Structure 1
């Protein structure tokens, strides 16, 4: 209970102090701390796992000041401001960020060989997704998610992603994630792509546009499917 409280306090602080940084989502994605029920007697193995989880969160917090400085230097506003101040027409990026699309997935896609489909654009879309996250370009992330979803249906022998989501012969868990991409992620992208300017605008946060779990599953299904080509 104390660990859960600690995690919640830090999460609230991150939301209030660094609301558009994506750090709250990173903190939430770290391993949970679970020793069981309050009156239970956890085993030594459980205690070791818990200690590792706590240590991982403490190391993450220790790195937060550096991460915040790097993130601040990479925001679109800061990048453009620096270019303006130096009288340059170039955009200079100096940043370090976690990958929304796992580089290992991108490398797996790059190694695939197919006579039916060229994955060059799909790979580039994934790479640009990571760049968009690193620069807090959350509008671009929403649009790139939709671009990926609209790009891949022929790999599954379908005309559009709605057919993929509704007819994919996988487990219910896979279908749920694909339907999430088809409904929630598509609706969010449509909102930002097609909405007209108004008197008051509210920009999306990483929480709104992060579909990384569903995208990773989609990419893994593509890799499995194309690996079986002859």
Structure 2
């Protein structure tokens, strides 16, 4: 009897038969025939349902917004998403942002790269004048006198005011400065008067040598 039960292909029927302690051949045959009949009926029902659905497809309920206000709200969301996507794509293209004025150009092409800001902080226009921007100052020696200077890595010129250079080097006069071809402007486009250009001995860490300074009023 165990061999007959193990030969049953339907696993659920097989387990059900093995669970019966006093299984007889007639009982096993009846169980097998009943299970086969149930499976055959289930297949016919599934086949009949598939054919009926193919002939008469079930309508799908579809609703459209009848309120213009709701439609407008959805349109606004779509437009907002598109704008944010375009903004992200522009940033991902590596659009340069000037570290000086914040414009859409490289630092080297900034028109204010070599200008001096007239704001109370006295920073160079070569750097964005923002309270959140971290300023880097170093102390250098100009003709042996200490001077705190703000570093601007993008500037091609070293600029110092006439009052500062006169305080550090009292013996210097404006006539000792060389003529200049430097044209500086502030943020408002106003010209910044340049006194001249001079070479001064600069010392910083291990460096010591003559460097050119642009002296402005």
After TM superposition, the score normalised by the length of structure 2 is 0.23
Structure having the larger proportion of residues in strand? 2
Larger Rg: 2
Structure number with greater CO (CA < 8 Å, separation at least 6) is: 1
TM-score by length of 1: 0.22
Q: Which has the higher helix share?
A: 1
